[in-house]
């Protein structure tokens, strides 16, 4: 086979796909996002024709010429991807470029069709289209490093040539591979495991079971404060609580051998009764999932399967409803969706020459993962190093420890490097998801336009384990309720254990669910009061002089460091007034408009710490060490801008070394939208101090200088997002067409407009997927039945409308250089804006997601039948 111009003499194994063959021969630019030909991350050319190499048999490429991203002549296309920022995490980019490089002019004119085999989870495709079409963006032409300019991502050249190293784009000598044996039952006790047949397979080195696992209880969730989550998990448990839970780990000299041996591990179970519905799980007589846990496990009430609960009130809602001119009450069902970062969960662990445990992992939290490994494996901090390569997307899904503990244990036992990589199928049933929620909302209001009462009841399904259960529940009913000024508020909620896959952190952290329910209800209440919905929101949302409070009215540890919410509403309303986008001709389309609004605290409560160090480099320039990981959120670019701005230089003079526990003292991690605000704050402080030292030195020579900075994230502000849609709905098919999508964000000082716009576009695209098509199906036994990207359906190019993105002109008094975060919050107002627009068009209030064609068709047909009857 000729690979990238060089002849390779090797025989593919029987059944081996071309992608695996290429990666085994060092072509790490060929990515693995699925095994089904769905995502296109593995696209290569065979004799000049683009193919999905994960479903292309390697033997068919014998005697042919294979070109990967490494062999593609670097040129105009790659340059345009860099300049248009046609990537975020960059995991899809090599495959995307390989497809784009083979397009004819006619295909390039029809990108929705031409790119149907290449998925991107991060960008929303607009910047990819700009790169392929060669459309220059005004921002991309800017060369200044000043804050507020679209400086290009430092990793761009490596991303577009396939040289950026993601977690598994390395192969240490003697590498072993791990495959997990997973439970086929939703609830059971392991009676016996016999691994003798697996151990007898040539090449198998180790089989780990619950008898090998430390007894330490922990949570897979990673937080600054370990006590935030219930300690209800052990590394390998004798009790299985969901179908897909890991039961044993087989370690062998190849993936194929580990897979074959995993099938030979005999596990005998004693089945236990299972419960998959959270309402049933809190009923009397339901099976208890964690009755075996001690009181120190921090479970709210293990006797009733309640992992976490919240209850608070302000004023009296009964009085508030009594004085209302209209009351609206409804239950909203928000479904289970998944992150679908294209790089699946993966890590490699080894023992370095000094005997230290080293873990290279796809994680948003290397420092917190190190600390958890130390606790679980009883190792001192200085004996463990955790770091990341480039991380291929996270969206909260990598704020968990799902792989690192088990490969670390295997590396300690074997003394050899051990690697694990979840398949796409394992992601769907063995990782985590957004918390499904049932939300009862009751709102009362006066015709004068005043909200008189808000009452919200939540039943969240945390699945088999309580990772993030308390945090998501509290956060869900935080900003969604405190956004509105109302004298009478009441919230009660529970997060409930069930025998289903665990839920976890997901972009928005509970707000996407609650904002859908509350903002939909608010829209409906306004209609009942004969008030215009946007004016009703304006009348009741917090104002610039309002103190932010907890629901009980106590002062909150959040301040209005800036306030751009009315401007965001103005921008979206005026955008929609332009009426851009017509319905297709020749059919009876119903047209409607809707808006959703949301607020997000700029950092999590209770502190979020970061440390940065910056030093002069011999030969010129600076090297910046930060702890936070880059997974497509763009913080690396922002950090170079902060440092360059403080040092009075250009961003290309700042080299960044990141996400390594050996690099800086500490960093809580890249979650909760903290990369710009917290790690950025530490960077700005370190660079400012270095500048002072350089100025003090004057023209005198001397040793190279360095300085440090820290940030604790304790002062918190809020960011705002407003989404508007104009839609057309076709009753005879149930189709929803988005005619216009407008988003306005109050991000404070927009440090990098091109990047920030793309974060919003990507967030809107991801939220549209959840609102329109994505759904992780679980059957009555608790088994996940959605197993491929094709069934799950994240948005492809053709599914994503262009979103007009606007920014309020604010500068935050708290955020570094006036900035506020904008990586997480754009998702939150999307679903209610869409549902409100569909309501406006059809008169039907949808209370469940996703709004698939069949759901919309049946609802409209049902209403038509009722009207006729």
Least distance CB 93 / ligand FES (angstroms): 6
- Residues 203 and 257: their CA atoms lie apart, in Å, by 7
**Pattern 711-750, ligand FES, x by CB under 6 A:** ----------------------------------------
- Residues 722 and 576: their CA atoms lie apart, in Å, by 12
**Pattern 6-25, ligand FES, x by CB under 6 A:** --------------------
Residue with tokens 């106590």: 554
Among the listed ranges 18-26, 88-96, 166-174, 202-210, the one in contact with ligand FES (CB under 6 A) is: 88-96
Cα–chain-centroid distance for residue 519? 22
- Residues 125 and 115: their CA atoms lie apart, in Å, by 10
Q: Any residues with CB less than 8 A from the CB of 434 and at least 6 apart, and which?
A: 336, 337, 338, 503, 506, 512, 513, 770
Q: Give yes or no for residue 90 binding ligand FES (CB under 6 A).
A: yes
**Interface residue with ligand FES, options 42, 66, 89, 337 (CB under 6 A):** 89
- Residues 293 and 668: their CA atoms lie apart, in Å, by 28
- What residues does 657 pair with on adjacent strands? 625
The radius of gyration of the chain from alpha carbons, rounded to an integer in Å, stands at: 27
- Residues 537 and 832: their CA atoms lie apart, in Å, by 13
- Residues 116 and 125: their CA atoms lie apart, in Å, by 11
Among the listed ranges 116-124, 172-180, 401-409, 475-483, the one in contact with ligand FES (CB under 6 A) is: 116-124
Least distance CB 421 / ligand FES (angstroms): 17
Site residues for ligand FES, window 375-394 (CB under 6 A)? 393
Can you read off the two tokens belonging to residue 557?
A: 């540890």
β-strands 654-658, 622-626 pairing? parallel
Q: Give yes or no for residue 117 binding ligand FES (CB under 6 A).
A: no
Residue with tokens 């976890």: 504
Least distance CB 691 / ligand FES (angstroms): 34
Least distance CB 125 / ligand FES (angstroms): 9
Least distance CB 398 / ligand FES (angstroms): 13
Site residues for ligand FES, window 572-601 (CB under 6 A)? none
Which CB sits closer to ligand FES, 86 or 627? 86
**Interface residue with ligand FES, options 91, 422, 474, 792 (CB under 6 A):** 91
- Residues 81 and 157: their CA atoms lie apart, in Å, by 9
Least distance CB 564 / ligand FES (angstroms): 28
DSSP string, 110-133: THHHHTTT---SSS-SHHHHHHHH
Among the listed ranges 84-92, 244-252, 292-300, 320-328, the one in contact with ligand FES (CB under 6 A) is: 84-92
Least distance CB 121 / ligand FES (angstroms): 4
Which CB sits closer to ligand FES, 484 or 631? 631
Q: Give yes or no for residue 342 binding ligand FES (CB under 6 A).
A: yes
Which CB sits closer to ligand FES, 363 or 513? 363
In this structure, are residues 723 and 595 in contact, taking their beta carbons and an 8 Å threshold? yes
Among the listed ranges 45-53, 60-68, 121-129, 351-359, the one in contact with ligand FES (CB under 6 A) is: 121-129
**Total residues in contact with ligand FES, by rule CB under 6 A:** 13
Least distance CB 122 / ligand FES (angstroms): 3
**Interface residue with ligand FES, options 53, 67, 123, 658 (CB under 6 A):** 123
- Residues 490 and 317: their CA atoms lie apart, in Å, by 7
* Cβ neighbours of 858 (radius 10 Å): 12
Which CB sits closer to ligand FES, 89 or 664? 89
**Interface residue with ligand FES, options 84, 115, 122, 560 (CB under 6 A):** 122
Least distance CB 393 / ligand FES (angstroms): 5
Which CB sits closer to ligand FES, 95 or 564? 95
Which CB sits closer to ligand FES, 632 or 753? 632
**Interface residue with ligand FES, options 28, 87, 497, 509 (CB under 6 A):** 87
Beta strands across the sheet bearing 718-730: 590-601, 718-730, 735-746, 803-807
SS3 463: strand
Site residues for ligand FES, window 646-665 (CB under 6 A)? none
Q: Give yes or no for residue 92 binding ligand FES (CB under 6 A).
A: yes
In this structure, are residues 668 and 623 in contact, taking their beta carbons and an 8 Å threshold? no
For 230-247, b/e burial (b = at least 16 CB within 10 A) is bbbbbbbbbbbbbbbbbb
**Interface residue with ligand FES, options 43, 67, 78, 88 (CB under 6 A):** 88
Among the listed ranges 87-95, 223-231, 479-487, 543-551, the one in contact with ligand FES (CB under 6 A) is: 87-95
- Residues 543 and 564: their CA atoms lie apart, in Å, by 10
Which CB sits closer to ligand FES, 337 or 481? 337
SS3 185: coil
Site residues for ligand FES, window 630-649 (CB under 6 A)? 632
**Nearest alpha carbon to residue 448 among 546, 539, 542:** 539
**Interface residue with ligand FES, options 23, 52, 121, 222 (CB under 6 A):** 121
Q: Give yes or no for residue 126 binding ligand FES (CB under 6 A).
A: no
- Residues 303 and 819: their CA atoms lie apart, in Å, by 45
Which CB sits closer to ligand FES, 117 or 470? 117
Q: Give yes or no for residue 156 binding ligand FES (CB under 6 A).
A: no
Q: Give yes or no for residue 459 binding ligand FES (CB under 6 A).
A: no
**Nearest alpha carbon to residue 835 among 407, 609, 518:** 518
Least distance CB 181 / ligand FES (angstroms): 30
Among the listed ranges 69-77, 89-97, 185-193, 656-664, the one in contact with ligand FES (CB under 6 A) is: 89-97
Which CB sits closer to ligand FES, 342 or 521? 342
Which CB sits closer to ligand FES, 31 or 450? 31
Q: Any residues with CB less than 8 A from the CB of 754 and at least 6 apart, and which?
A: 85, 127, 137, 139, 140, 150
Least distance CB 392 / ligand FES (angstroms): 6
Which CB sits closer to ligand FES, 426 or 761? 761
**Nearest alpha carbon to residue 343 among 591, 24, 629:** 629
Which CB sits closer to ligand FES, 166 or 497? 166
**Interface residue with ligand FES, options 120, 337, 486, 859 (CB under 6 A):** 120
- Residues 109 and 483: their CA atoms lie apart, in Å, by 44
DSSP state of 286: P
- Residues 14 and 616: their CA atoms lie apart, in Å, by 54
Which CB sits closer to ligand FES, 795 or 850? 795
Residue 723, phi then psi, degrees to nearest 5: -120, 140
Which CB sits closer to ligand FES, 89 or 511? 89
Can you read off the two tokens belonging to residue 293?
A: 């846990």
Residue with tokens 């009722």: 866
Task: Note the helical H segments in 343-500.
Answer: 366-377, 404-414, 424-430, 469-476, 479-482
Asked if the bond preceding 850 is cis, omega within 30° of 0, the reply is: yes
> Given the rule CB under 6 A, which residues bind ligand FES?
87-92, 120-123, 342, 393, 632
């Amino acid at each position: 086979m000729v690979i990238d111009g060089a002849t390779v003499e090797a025989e593919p194994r029987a059944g081996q796909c071309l992608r695996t063959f290429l990666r085994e021969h060092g072509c790490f630019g060929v990515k693995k996002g699925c095994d089904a030909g769905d995502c296109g991350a593995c696209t290569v050319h065979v004799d000049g024709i683009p193919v999905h190499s994960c479903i292309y048999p390697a033997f068919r490429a014998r005697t042919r010429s294979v070109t990967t991203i490494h062999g593609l002549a670097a040129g105009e296309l790659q340059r345009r991807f860099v300049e248009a920022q046609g990537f975020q995490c960059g995991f899809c980019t090599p495959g995307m470029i390989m497809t784009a490089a083979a397009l004819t002019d006619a295909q390039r004119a029809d990108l929705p069709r031409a790119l149907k085999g290449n998925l991107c989870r991060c960008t929303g495709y607009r910047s990819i289209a700009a790169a392929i079409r060669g459309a220059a963006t005004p921002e991309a032409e800017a060369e200044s490093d000043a804050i507020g300019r679209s400086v290009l991502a430092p990793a761009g050249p490596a991303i577009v040539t396939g040289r950026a190293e993601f977690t598994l784009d390395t192969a240490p000598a003697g590498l072993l591979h791990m495959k997990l044996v997973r439970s086929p039952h939703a609830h059971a006790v392991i009676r016996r495991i016999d691994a003798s047949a697996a151990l007898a397979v040539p090449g198998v080195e180790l089989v780990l079971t619950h008898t090998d696992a430390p007894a330490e209880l922990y949570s897979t969730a990673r937080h600054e404060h370990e006590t935030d989550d219930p300690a209800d998990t052990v590394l390998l448990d004798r009790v299985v609580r969901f179908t897909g839970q890991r039961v044993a780990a087989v370690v062998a000299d190849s993936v194929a051998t580990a897979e074959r041996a995993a099938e030979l591990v005999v596990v005998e179970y004693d089945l236990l009764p299972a419960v998959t519905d959270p309402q049933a799980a809190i009923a009397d007589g339901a099976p208890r999932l964690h009755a075996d846990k001690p009181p120190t496990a921090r479970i709210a009430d293990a006797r009733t399967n309640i992992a976490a609960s919240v209850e608070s009130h302000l004023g009296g809602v009964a009085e508030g409803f009594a004085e209302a001119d209209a009351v609206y009450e409804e239950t909203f069902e928000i479904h289970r969706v998944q992150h679908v970062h294209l790089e699946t969960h993966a890590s490699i662990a080894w023992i370095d020459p000094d005997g230290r445990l080293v873990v290279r992992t796809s994680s948003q939290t290397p420092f917190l993962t190190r600390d958890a490994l130390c606790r679980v494996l009883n190792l001192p901090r200085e004996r463990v190093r955790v770091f990341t390569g480039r991380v291929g997307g996270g969206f909260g899904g990598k704020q968990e420890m799902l792989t690192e503990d088990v490969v670390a244990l295997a590396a300690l036992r074997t003394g050899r490097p051990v690697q694990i990589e979840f398949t796409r199928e394992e992601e769907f049933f063995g990782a985590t998801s957004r918390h499904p929620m049932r939300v009862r909302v009751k709102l009362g209001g006066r015709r004068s336009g005043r909200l008189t009462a808000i009452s919200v009841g939540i039943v969240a399904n945390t699945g088999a384990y309580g990772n993030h259960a308390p945090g998501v529940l509290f956060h869900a009913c935080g900003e969604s309720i405190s956004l509105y000024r109302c004298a009478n508020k009441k919230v009660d909620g529970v997060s409930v254990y069930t025998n289903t896959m665990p839920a976890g952190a997901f972009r928005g952290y509970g707000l996407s669910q609650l904002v859908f329910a509350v903002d939909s209800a608010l829209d409906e209440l306004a209609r009942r009061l004969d008030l215009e919905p946007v004016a009703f929101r304006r009348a009741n949302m917090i104002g610039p002089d309002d103190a932010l409070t907890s629901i009980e009215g106590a002062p909150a540890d959040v301040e209005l460091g800036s306030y751009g919410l009315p401007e965001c509403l103005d921008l979206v309303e005026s955008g929609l007034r332009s009426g851009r986008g017509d319905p297709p001709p020749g059919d009876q389309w119903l047209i409607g408009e809707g808006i959703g609004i949301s607020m997000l605290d700029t950092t999590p409560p209770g502190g979020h710490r970061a440390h940065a160090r910056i030093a002069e480099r011999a030969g010129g320039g600076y090297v910046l060490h930060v702890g936070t990981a880059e997974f497509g959120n763009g913080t690396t670019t922002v950090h170079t801008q902060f440092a360059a701005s403080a040092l009075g230089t250009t961003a290309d003079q700042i080299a960044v070394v990141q996400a390594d526990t050996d690099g800086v003292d500490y960093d809580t991690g890249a979650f909760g939208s903290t990369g710009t605000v917290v790690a950025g704050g530490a960077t700005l402080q370190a660079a400012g101090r270095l500048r002072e030292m350089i100025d003090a030195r004057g023209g005198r020579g001397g040793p190279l200088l360095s300085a440090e900075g820290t940030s604790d994230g304790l002062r918190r502000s809020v960011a705002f997002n407003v989404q508007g849609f104009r839609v057309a709905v076709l009753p005879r098919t149930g189709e929803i067409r988005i005619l216009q999508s407008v988003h306005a964000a109050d991000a404070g000082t927009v440090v990098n407009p091109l990047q920030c716009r793309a974060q919003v576009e990507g967030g809107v695209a991801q939220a549209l997927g959840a609102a329109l098509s994505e759904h992780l199906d679980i059957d009555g036994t608790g088994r996940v039945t959605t197993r491929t990207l094709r069934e799950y359906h994240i948005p492809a190019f053709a599914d994503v409308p262009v979103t007009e993105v606007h920014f309020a002109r604010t500068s935050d008094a708290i955020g570094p250089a006036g900035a506020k975060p904008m990586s997480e919050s754009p998702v939150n107002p999307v679903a209610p804006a869409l549902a409100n627009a569909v309501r406006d068009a059809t008169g039907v209030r949808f209370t469940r997601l996703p709004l698939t064609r069949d759901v919309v068709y049946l609802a409209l047909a049902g209403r038509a039948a009722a009207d006729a009857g």
